[in-house]
Amino acid sequence: MVVEDLARRLGLRTNPHIFFWSAGLMVAFLVLLLSFPGPIGTAFGAGREWIVTNLGWFFILGVTTWLVFLAWVALSKYGNLRLGHDADTPAYSNLSWFAMLFAGGIGTVLMFWGVAEPISHFSTPPYAGVEPYSVQASQDAMTISLYHLSLHTWAIFTLPGLAFGYFIYRYDLPMRVSSVFYPFLKERIHGPIGKTIDVFAVLGTLFGLAVSLGLGTSQINAGLTALTGIPDAVWPKVLIITALTLVATASIVAGLDKGVRRLSNLNILMAVGLMIFVLIAGDTVFLLRQIFESAGLYAQQIVPLSFWNDSMAQFTDEGGWGWQGGWTVFYWAWTVTWAPFMGVFLARISRGRTIRQFVGGVLIAPSLFTLVWFVIFGWSAMQIDGIGGTGGTISAAVADSVPLAMFAFFDNFPAATLISGIAVVVVALFFATSSDSASLVVDMLCSGTGEAGPTRQRVFWGLSEGALAASLIIIGGTAGLEALQQVITVIGLPIFLMVFAMMFAMIAGLRQEVFPSAPVPAAPAVNGDRPPGTPPSGTPPVPAAPADGAADRTSTTPRG
């Protein structure tokens, strides 16, 4: 066919239908975004308003449901099942594993919101009757920030990661989103329905990453403005995206083990060093006490926060969805667009771990780090701004420009210029690790294998992500964060529905599990495409046909 011939001529090693449809639709989106920024921006704004008003409750209930499901499956008898065959062992040490999943997942977010979100809720409390800058406002600000960026956020990543690891490695299916729906679609995952799912997942991943890169670029631009006087405007952001996309592309060429792992390890060490500096240079005893106290406050509030959807906002001055529409619903819609990327990425680096190890590691380890990060940065910022006072320079900076929050915060520490410069580098590295990780994953989603494709494929996706992020910055213009919120909320809804369906696919798959009394020999993993009609290699072998030619067949179940 034409697309197969074109793929051969270009030297690609991928599924041509998924690759060219994804690339073509992405290019079409780019052309439309740049040609008609006004009407498209208006359409996204109207779509976000409708989704937030009518379906915001569904986002909140959904993420809470996923967290409960993950806790159940990890503690159940299925927790001992491996993501892979029974003889598989983890390929990465716990330290490298954590560094890779963290740097690829939430590093940019913590750098952006570590000061900005607690200060935002501290200066503008979401609860009625709470005085700004009060002790109660500071405690609420911390618990809400932890709600947004700890267990619930990582549940959004963990569920698809678990589903991908389970079906791809235990059933030996292609490394694609469509493989998760094997219990429902069977061999149709290799047909038009499966390819449509995969194309949509690729596009959602690209948009989700573009929003994150846009936020990271805004923060880098704000830091450079504070350090050098470079204007905080659209074109400097585009130039920053261009430069960092080239850095990320160089890491893509190096591959997962050499590029992503090394950058991730370096990045996490620099971020931890920055956090330790703030701990030592700040009120150390106060912050250490707050680590335990904030954990307790979060534990007390996690259940009510998990079900709070601001239903009484319609009777207040806020109206509609009030505060939740601009914060929680946006967070969940944005984070879920990362679900295909983070899911495949987590599965790729987690083969050989048990379900219990995977869920516990991916949920708990990053959440604990988030707790410590937010306590050290958030409580330090609120203390500097004046708990019990009327606000200070940090809250004023947040009111003026959210990306400036981190740098206004560092102005209160020794060697402020040096520390701000290091922070810019850390954000830039998080940018690079997020971009190169996502590019490798998008390439895997198109090829269906866990191995890196030809360099030209990976470079194409790396450059595409940068172009899409730059386009969103351009159409957002001075609206900035608000424009990004509108785009990602609309894109996030269908992906949210898809991830919800993954939970039911996992339930269907687990119900077919067989726990034999004796170990079943491990079979070599084959993650590429299989011809339609060929059962997964994780399926128990079909007995040899009897002499009369009448063959017995067994039901399709994963390898026990």
Three-state secondary-structure class, residue 342: helix
pLDDT of residue 159: 96
Average pLDDT over residues 237-251: 83
**Is 267 inside a domain boundary?**
yes
Task: Reply yes or no on whether the pLDDT at 532 is more than 60.
Answer: no
Q: pLDDT-based confidence at 541, cuts 50/70/90?
A: very low
pLDDT of residue 399: 87
Residue 435: in which H helix or E strand, if any?
helix 416-447
Average pLDDT over residues 129-157: 94
| Residues linked to residue 82 through DSSP beta bridges, in sequence order | 354
Q: Could you tell me which residues come within 8 angstroms of residue 432 by beta carbon, excluding any fewer than 6 positions away?
A: 244, 247, 248, 251, 263
Task: Reply yes or no on whether the pLDDT at 539 is more than 60.
Answer: no
Average pLDDT over residues 287-293: 96
Q: Out of 288-302, 318-332, 512-526, which region has the weakest mean confidence (pLDDT)?
A: 512-526
pLDDT of residue 103: 56
pLDDT of residue 259: 52
Does this model's pTM top 0.85? My answer is no
**Is 182 inside a domain boundary?**
no
**Is 434 inside a domain boundary?**
yes
Average pLDDT over residues 384-389: 91
Q: pLDDT-based confidence at 254, cuts 50/70/90?
A: low
Identity (one letter) of the amino acid at 184? Answer: F
**Is 122 inside a domain boundary?**
yes
pLDDT of residue 142: 97
**Is 545 inside a domain boundary?**
no
Of 471, 481, 446, 476, give the one whose Cα is nearest residue 460: 446
Task: Reply yes or no on whether the pLDDT at 289 is more than 70.
Answer: yes
**Is 517 inside a domain boundary?**
no
Task: Reply yes or no on whether the pLDDT at 195 is more than 60.
Answer: yes
Q: pLDDT digits over 214-225, tens only?
A: 777 888 888 888
**Is 360 inside a domain boundary?**
yes
**Segment of 15-29, 263-277, 482-496 carrying the highest mean pLDDT:** 15-29
Burial class (CB in 10 A: 0-12, 13-18, 19+), 180: buried
Compute CA distances 75 → 360, 409, 494, whole Å. 10, 41, 30
Q: pLDDT digits over 9-66, tens only?
A: 877 788 888 999 998 998 888 788 777 777 877 888 888 888 888 888 999 999 999 9
Mean pLDDT of the chain: 82
Residue 129: in which H helix or E strand, if any?
none
Average pLDDT over residues 464-489: 72
Task: Reply yes or no on whether the pLDDT at 537 is more than 90.
Answer: no
The backbone torsions φ and ψ at residue 138, rounded to the nearest 5 degrees and listed phi first, read -70, -40
Q: pLDDT digits over 347-383, tens only?
A: 888 999 999 999 998 998 889 989 999 999 999 999 9
Q: pLDDT-based confidence at 433, cuts 50/70/90?
A: confident
| Residues linked to residue 354 through DSSP beta bridges, in sequence order | 82
Share of the chain above pLDDT 90, in %: 35
Q: pLDDT digits over 51-100, tens only?
A: 888 888 999 999 999 999 999 999 999 999 999 888 888 888 887 787 76
Share of the chain above pLDDT 70, in %: 83
pLDDT of residue 82: 92
Tokens found for residue 52: 């937030």
Structural domain including 124 reads: 13-158+199-511
pLDDT of residue 540: 34
The number of angstroms, rounded, from the C-alpha of 144 to the middle of its chain's C-alpha atoms is 19
Three-state secondary-structure class, residue 354: strand
Average pLDDT over residues 481-486: 64
pLDDT of residue 162: 96
pLDDT of residue 483: 63
CA–CA gap between residue 177 and residue 200 (Å, rounded): 9
> Higher pLDDT residue, 175 or 11?
175
> Higher pLDDT residue, 144 or 242?
144
- State the total domains in the chain: 1
Q: Could you tell me which residues come within 8 angstroms of residue 553 by beta carbon, excluding any fewer than 6 positions away?
A: 542
Of 86, 11, 33, 8, give the one whose Cα is nearest residue 469: 33
**Is 544 inside a domain boundary?**
no
